A and B are shown apart, each in its own frame.
Chain A
Amino acid sequence: KQEVTQIPAALSVPEGENLVLNCSFTDSAIYNLQWFRQDPGKGLTSLLLIQSSQREQTSGRLNASLDKSSGRSTLYIAASQPGDSATYLCAVKETSGSRLTFGEGTQLTVNP
């Protein structure tokens, strides 16, 4: 059974810092991996999707990498801003079917 772990569970940084969020998964037979953002009391917003054949994806100040063989992904946020404060979840999709398996998220606080 696929398990997804995110470290750290919470992170607090001053504005302007670059930071890395980590995600690991136990079964490397994945179809893709996604990073989502969740604001308090809200739904999930997809940030980046990396197919299993890709190594990284970039969107603005966000860069996500994937090392499928080692079961790891990182989300790099450059020049963090207070508006980046949210919970970041990673999720992996199996090679068949429609199911995503989520990690429990990293709660990020960026202090002005």
Chain B
Amino acid sequence: DAMVIQNPRYQVTQFGKPVTLSCSQTLNHNVMYWYQQKSSQAPKLLFHYYDKDFNNEADTPDNFQSRRPNTSFCFLDIRSPGLGDAAMYLCATSLRNAGGVLRGTQYFGPGTRLTVL
């Protein structure tokens, strides 16, 4: 089945040790998103790619970076994780048409739960 895959599902890292989370999709969607979700809170958009066009949210810390080497893959790099970065990280995809209109819903992966020791 076409889907959004996130690896790993659980990631433990040490304070200050760089970590990379990965997302892949088989939907051939041109938009990919990274969200951070803390317990009992709404998902918070960190950034998204429309094709190779990177869109950073104004309040996303510099500690968070992203790469999208091709349509199928997107990575979230946390350069120096702090205790406050422990959260669930959700990847999602969607399809925008040539006119820039978002078609349909966003499809979410199962998430990666990050623990910072």
Min CB distance A64 to B, Å, is 13
Of A13-21, A69-77, A92-100, the stretch lying at the interface with chain B is A92-100
From known contacts A89-B42, A105-B42, infer whether A43 and B94 are also in contact, taking CB-CB under 8 Å: no
A58 CB within 8 Å of chain B: no
Q: Which residues of A contact B101 (CB under 8 A)?
A: 31
Within 8 A of A (CB), among B82-105: 88, 90, 92, 94, 96, 100-102, 104-105
A41 CB within 8 Å of chain B: yes
- Chain B binding surface SS class: strand
- Chain A binding surface SS class: strand
Q: How distant is the Cα of A80 from the Cα of B106 in the complex, in angstroms?
A: 26
Number of A interface residues, CB 8 Å?
A: 23
Q: Which residues of A contact B88 (CB under 8 A)?
A: 41
Taking Cβ atoms with an 8 Å cutoff, the residues of B that contact A are 4, 6, 31, 33, 40-43, 45, 48, 50, 55, 88, 90, 92, 94, 96, 100-102, 104-111, 113
